[in-house]
Amino acid sequence: MTQTVLVTGGSGYIAGFLIRQLLDAGWTVHTTVRSLSREAELRLVLGGTKETLRFFAADLTSDAGWDDAAAGCTHVAHVASPFPLHVPKDPEELVGPARDGALRALCAAKKAGVKRFVQTSSFAAVGYGHPAGRYVAGQVFTEADWTDLSNPNVAPYMRSKTVAERAARDWIAAEGEGMEYVSVNPVAVLGPVTNGDLSTSIELVKQLLEGAIPALPDVGFGIVDVRDVADLHVRALNQPGLNGERFLATGPFLTFAEIAAVLKRRLGHEARKVPTRRLPDFVVKIGALFSPSLKQIAGELGKVRAGTSAHAQQRVGWTLHPVEETIVDTARSLIDLKIVKV
């Protein structure tokens, strides 16, 4: 029997790869976008025919459209969530839409009789607000860890993803009888791009290639390939017996300097603008007094936020691209599409 899945946020980076994988596997896909004016453009990118891919207008901040989008679906992958390049002054600008959007998708799923709901959460809901001793080499985060919201230094985005996942799990416990729930928690997502609508993580690679980052701060993050994140969602939708599961989707933790070294080594002349100089910590800390973006970076100096995806690999047979391949494929696609001119 053909299965129908709602993938929210169809114009997003992860959602695009997920939709293509689901269509290739024979699913019928419903997807939400904020405006149907983008349907023709997205249909070309996603490769779905009219019969296998349907678009619905729905927004995280409004009830309109959600019931129609979920109608007839057996599964939901709730991928949509706000992720801005700049830190908002009011955390509620992110927390509200993330939480309320998840609850709207859940309510619509229940009305439609959906049997499994997969939420794209984040490492942001796992690895923040902990004591300093957790952020050193050798310490590893797992699915058992949760970001500590009692810590006032937790940034708005991390707060929004934590609140949204907590709210979804609480809703399932109270209201979700008959519907299974799984969360997927990726770290920074890289990989090939298909257009110029870039995620925040991809923007970092773009800025390195363009020389927009003049020197490298002592900051890093876990990296995972978008193709692997989409694949983990498919497994979470498909495989039986996963109710309540939480899957941390992460490859290795790399610093800016390590990412820059991969670009230099693998791209040669095309990476000539990639910086090699290190940015001293004291420069970042001084700049943080005047810049919200640098303030966020200053809080990450020297921290190692490493996680393990052993649970996903063992539980559902998930595999990962080598991290160097992911970084190079990201850069190569930016160059080939002339988003970055070298």
Q: DSSP secondary structure string, 76-88?
A: EEE------SS--
Contact 277, 214 (CB under 8 A): yes
Per-residue pLDDT reduced to its tens digit, 283-301: 888 988 877 767 778 888 8
pLDDT reported for residue 50: 79
Candidate from 5-9, 80-84, 158-162 with smallest mean pLDDT:
80-84
* pLDDT (tens digit per residue) in 233-284: 999 999 999 999 999 999 999 999 999 999 999 999 999 999 999 998 888 8
Tokens linked to 100: 């309320």
> H/E element holding 231?
helix 226-238
pLDDT at 107 over 80: yes
Catalytic positions are: 161
Question: E strands within the chain?
Answer: 4-7, 28-33, 53-57, 75-78, 116-120, 180-186, 188-190, 220-225, 246-249, 253-255
**pLDDT score at 289:** 84
The pLDDT-based confidence of 1 (bands split at 50, 70, 90) is: very low
Residue 109 near residue 179 (C-beta atoms within 8 A): yes
CA distance 159 to 97: 12
pLDDT of 216 > 90? The answer is yes
pLDDT score for 88? 63
CB atoms within 10 A of CB 45: 16
- Tens digits of residue pLDDT in 158-177: 999 999 999 999 999 999 99
pLDDT score for 85? 52
Q: Evaluate if residue 66 carries a pLDDT over 80.
A: yes
Instruction: With beta carbons less than 8 A apart as the criterion, state whether 120 and 78 touch.
Output: yes
Distance set, CA 75 to CA 2, 21, 103, 246 (Å): 12, 15, 15, 17
* Cross-strand partners of 7: 31, 77
Q: How far apart are CA 342 and CA 340, in angstroms?
A: 6
Give residue 87's pLDDT. Answer: 61
Element (H, E) at 11: none
Start-to-end CA distance of the chain, whole Å, equals: 49
Question: Which residues lie closer than 8 Å to 322 by C-beta, 6 or more apart?
Answer: none
Look at residue 178 and give its three-state secondary structure: coil
Compute the Cα dihedral for 279, 302, 187, 129 and give only its sign: negative
pTM equals 0.94
The radius of gyration of the chain's CA atoms, rounded to the nearest angstrom, is: 20
Six-digit token pair at 67?
């019931």
Lowest average pLDDT, out of 65-74, 76-85, 162-171, 180-189, goes to 76-85
Structure tokens at 178: 């008959």
pLDDT value of position 83: 61
> Token digits for 105?
């998708």
Structure tokens at 92: 């509620």
198 band by pLDDT with thresholds 50, 70 and 90: confident
- 15-19, 98-102, 228-232, 281-285: lowest mean pLDDT where? 281-285
Nearest to 231 by CA among 189, 268, 193, 270: 189
Q: How distant is the alpha carbon of residue 271 from its chain centre?
A: 26
What integer best gives the mean pLDDT of the chain? 93
Full set of structural domains in the chain with CATH: 4-336 (3.40.50.720)
Which position has the higher pLDDT, 87 or 233?
233
Torsions phi, psi for 183 (to 5 deg) = -115, 145
